[in-house]
């Protein structure tokens, strides 16, 4: 095989990649050495701003195959036929830590999936938990600040973490998930994924349904105890990345079965829980899981930076037949996710290969900006309407319209019959086995006992008491015992 020629960024061959140009054998380096300056300048710019949340991630390509007919609920083309396959890219991630953190930590996991459909890219941005800590996006920056490194101490502070939760009782359900056995997945392959939010599906007749997505791992759910996780971090901080990479390289392709819960839109107003509150689930007894298809991961990225770090997801990337719901956290993310990528990667990040549509054609009037590569022919206009046969609107909405009423202003979400911040957390606790309860209580007490303010501890204990009397009693006793040691 012939040797490839090393070149500069402009394509010129490089004569010497081992020695800088100098003024004589022992003289100073010359500024005219274009190859040296180009290499150093590029090296200085190899890192881009990391994600504020979900900074540490792993990714893989695969496909989604429809196994069941769901055309009665949605007209989405990629879901229109049993056996239909659509190329996908997934990014798994931890949430709170930086790019240099470890994989095996107690933290929710991001489960962001891009479908390269014929009607454009569809992004489903979820987690490995069916619920979240807060229900209103205005609290999101404060929540993340409380979980990240303190600006003075430079470390995650239990006082900050638990103080925010003490003043945010709606977090009790997610805390119970996070501190339970599934709080530290053994690998990305051995955890479930959820859309978490409520979305809208619309069928060909214009009927609207609200849906929740559930990706159930076909490898089985496996998790780590706090002790196992600490040992794993010490052995390999990149344990989840290592596991995913090596499994796919061996041909052991991980897969998930997608189910959805489907609620006719007319039932939302009178449902016993607010169906758009992301701190709550829809019990399966009310809305059973219905199988849709399977997700298979079968190819590793060739370059982690180009394809995983530069992968950009936004929940506002919908396709015909799928749209948003009044879920307030989702509504906030419709803007925030895309805006974060414009900051990190630039206005033309959708033209990067990992983010660009595979089979759909992009045809609009967006031009220019940093790294613009799509500019059309010399006859194309950059405005609309025009008289030059440029692309025009279809007039067909992607999803059904949602009725709104009332006065503008800041409002608390309307309460449904069983809406409170504690009922579902108590239900989750009561579903656990005795051993699971023991570990949950120990995990919560281990963190809460480190808090220095008694009033913050008492507020949090009140939440657990409100969820379940036994739950609160056991956490209180465990915290007291640890603080007395």
> Would you please indicate which residues are annotated as catalytic (active-site) residues?
54, 127
- Which run of H or of E encompasses 451? none
Structure tokens at 52: 């504020």
Burial 165-183 (b: 16+ CB within 10 A, else e): bbebbbbbbbbbbbbbbbb
Structure tokens at 363: 């045809």
Residue position matching structure tokens 């808090």: 451
Tell which residue, 95, 280, 271, has the closest CA to residue 172. Answer: 280
CA 19 to chain centre: 45
What is the Cα–Cα distance from 305 to 302, expressed in whole angstroms? Answer: 9
CA 92 to chain centre: 7
Total residue count of the chain as it appears in this document: 485
What is the Cα–Cα distance from 160 to 151, expressed in whole angstroms? Answer: 11
Tell which residue, 182, 206, 209, has the closest CA to residue 198. Answer: 209
Region at 458 (left for phi over 0; alpha for psi -120 to 50; beta for the rest): alpha
Q: In this structure, are residues 281 and 256 in contact, taking their beta carbons and an 8 Å threshold? A: no
Radius of gyration of the chain (CA): 25
Per DSSP, the chain holds a count of helices (H) and strands (E) of 12, 10
CA 241 to chain centre: 16
- Pairing of the two strands 290-299 and 57-66: antiparallel
Q: In this structure, are residues 137 and 328 in contact, taking their beta carbons and an 8 Å threshold? A: yes
What is the Cα–Cα distance from 405 to 407, expressed in whole angstroms? Answer: 7
Residue by residue, DSSP assigns 358-413 as SSSPP-SS---STT------TT--SSSS-SS---------SS------S--S--PP
């Amino acid at each position: 095989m012939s040797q490839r020629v090393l070149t500069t960024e402009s394509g010129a061959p490089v004569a010497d990649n081992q020695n800088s140009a100098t003024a004589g054998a022992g003289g100073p380096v010359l500024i005219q050495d274009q190859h040296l300056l180009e290499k150093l300048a590029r090296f200085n710019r190899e890192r881009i701003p990391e994600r504020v949340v979900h900074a540490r991630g792993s990714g893989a390509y695969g496909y989604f195959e429809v196994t069941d007919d769901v055309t009665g609920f949605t007209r989405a083309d990629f879901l229109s036929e049993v056996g239909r396959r659509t190329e996908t890219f997934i990014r798994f991630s931890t949430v709170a830590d930086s790019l240099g953190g470890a994989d095996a930590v107690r933290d929710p996991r991001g489960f962001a999936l891009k479908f390269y459909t014929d009607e454009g890219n569809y992004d489903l941005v979820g987690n490995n938990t069916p619920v979240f800590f807060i229900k209103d996006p205005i609290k999101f920056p404060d929540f993340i600040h409380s979980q990240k490194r303190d600006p003075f101490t430079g470390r995650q502070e239990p006082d900050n973490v638990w103080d925010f939760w003490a003043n945010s009782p709606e977090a009790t359900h997610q805390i119970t998930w996070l501190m339970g056995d599934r709080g530290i997945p053994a690998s990305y392959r051995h955890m479930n994924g959820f859309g978490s939010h409520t979305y809208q599906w619309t069928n060909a007749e214009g009927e609207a349904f609200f849906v929740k997505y559930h990706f159930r791992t076909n490898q089985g759910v496996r998790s780590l105890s706090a002790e196992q996780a600490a040992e794993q971090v010490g052995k390999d901080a990149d344990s989840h990345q290592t596991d995913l990479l090596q499994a796919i390289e061996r041909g052991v392709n991980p897969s998930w079965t997608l189910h959805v819960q489907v609620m006719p839109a007319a039932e939302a107003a009178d449902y016993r829980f607010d169906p758009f509150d992301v701190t709550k689930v829809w019990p399966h007894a009310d809305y059973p899981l219905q199988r849709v298809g399977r997700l298979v991961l079968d190819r590793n990225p060739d370059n982690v930076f180009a394809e995983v770090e530069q992968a950009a997801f936004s929940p506002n990337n919908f396709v015909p037949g799928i749209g948003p719901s009044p879920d307030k956290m989702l509504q906030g993310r419709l803007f925030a996710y895309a805006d974060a990528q414009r900051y990190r990667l630039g206005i033309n990040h959708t033209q990067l290969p990992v983010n660009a549509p595979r089979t759909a054609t992009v045809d609009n009037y967006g031009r220019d900006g940093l790294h613009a590569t799509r500019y059309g022919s010399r006859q194309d206009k950059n405005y609309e309407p025009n008289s030059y046969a440029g692309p025009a609107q279809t007039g067909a909405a992607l999803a059904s319209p949602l009725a709104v009423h009332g006065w503008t202003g800041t409002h608390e979400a309307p309460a449904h019959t069983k809406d409170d911040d504690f009922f579902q957390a108590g239900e989750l606790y009561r579903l656990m086995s005795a051993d699971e309860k023991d570990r949950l209580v120990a995990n919560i007490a281990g963190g809460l006992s480190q808090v220095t303010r008694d009033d913050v501890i008492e507020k949090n204990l009140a939440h657990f008491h409100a969820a379940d009397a036994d739950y609160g009693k056991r956490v209180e006793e465990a915290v007291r015992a640890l603080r007395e040691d």
